[in-house]
Amino acid sequence: MTGPRAAPQASWIIPGLAVLAIAVAAAALTVGAFPVTLEGFIRAVKNLWSGDLPQTSEERVLFGIRGPRILAGLIVGAALAGAGVVYQGLFRNPLVSPDVLGVSAGAGLGAVIGIFLSLPVFAIQMLAFGGGLATVGLVYLIAVAVRGRDPTLVLVLGGVVVGALAGAAISLLKILADPYDQLPAITFWLLGSLASVRGGDLWNVMPAVLIGLVPLVLLRWQINVLSLGDEEAKSLGVESGRLRVIVIAAATLMTASVVAISGVIGWVGLVIPHIARMLVGPNFERLLPAAMLMGASYLVLVDTLARSLGRVEVPIGILTAVVGAPFFLWLLWRGRHGWS
């Protein structure tokens, strides 16, 4: 693909992905255990537009339960996919996901501690958020302490070690937890779900996601340069060390904030960036919005399946693994075009 032809293609792909995300979200509003007809949906939207409070069962389901959940799916999917793009470009490794620095394991440990102590939902979410940030902070301190080595390699290895320790602590708490009350809650949280998300949770998460997203957008061309390597970045006037810290902090903030309300949802940050890269190329300026829009659509679609396939809701993490693993193997098999 040559440069002059890539721009017009990307010019319609990203708006097209935005339209797709809106269409998927609108369709998801009408699907579920409580059926909502198209006429009921349009009537409910008209009533909402006129300022009336939800009165019918359809309106309460749409705007009190299903709407916040779908908005959460859009935000969580976009944040995880965006963080995946950042981490894969930063570490120049296609196998990297937002979990590489242990943020999901740390968030999981924080949430499991909260459930083990029978804390309120908000406290559990805050512990998950703090656990994710603390884990990445610890990994970064390890990277700073270990001098004379490749900083990227030390960060990845530090993330593996700290993530493994967090996983061991989670296993210990699962053994000690009440098998009839706490253990099912811990297991369900670790597999990811949007079932417990309410409107207030979105107001807690959105500022953190936006704070993380803003520097990624403002520094998009420097992040492009950083993906070439430290020497090339330095030759082009980019201070790679400081930029790496800012980018990691931004991506970690986005990941930890959404994991705090959704639990650990794998594969989104790993697979979606690859698909987006196939559509718009490796330019971070186009890749970031494309991946975020695709991640938003994908997670809403998966969540709709999770709550519609049977009487018992399937944890999202199971479905993303079932879909993501074969697709990733197909990508590996098809990888004759390389990862760049």
DSSP per-residue codes, 110-132 = HHHHHHHTT--HHHHHHHHHHHH
Instruction: Tell me the CATH number for domain 82-330.
Output: 1.10.3470.10
Tell me the pLDDT band of 15, cut-offs 50, 70 and 90.
Answer: very high
What does the pLDDT look like over 72-93, one tens digit per residue? 999 999 999 999 999 888 877 7
Q: Within 10 Å of residue 56's Cβ, how many Cβ atoms?
A: 12
Regarding predicted confidence, which is higher, 9 or 90? 90
Token readout for 110 is: 């924080």
How do the domains of the chain map onto residue ranges? 82-330
Mean pLDDT of 198-203: 84
Under 8 Å between Cβ of 220 and 288:
yes
Average pLDDT over residues 109-133: 88
pLDDT at site 335:
61
Q: How confident is the model at residue 136 (pLDDT cuts 50, 70, 90)?
A: confident
With beta carbons less than 8 A apart as the criterion, state whether 208 and 260 touch: no
Contact 259, 132 (CB under 8 A): yes
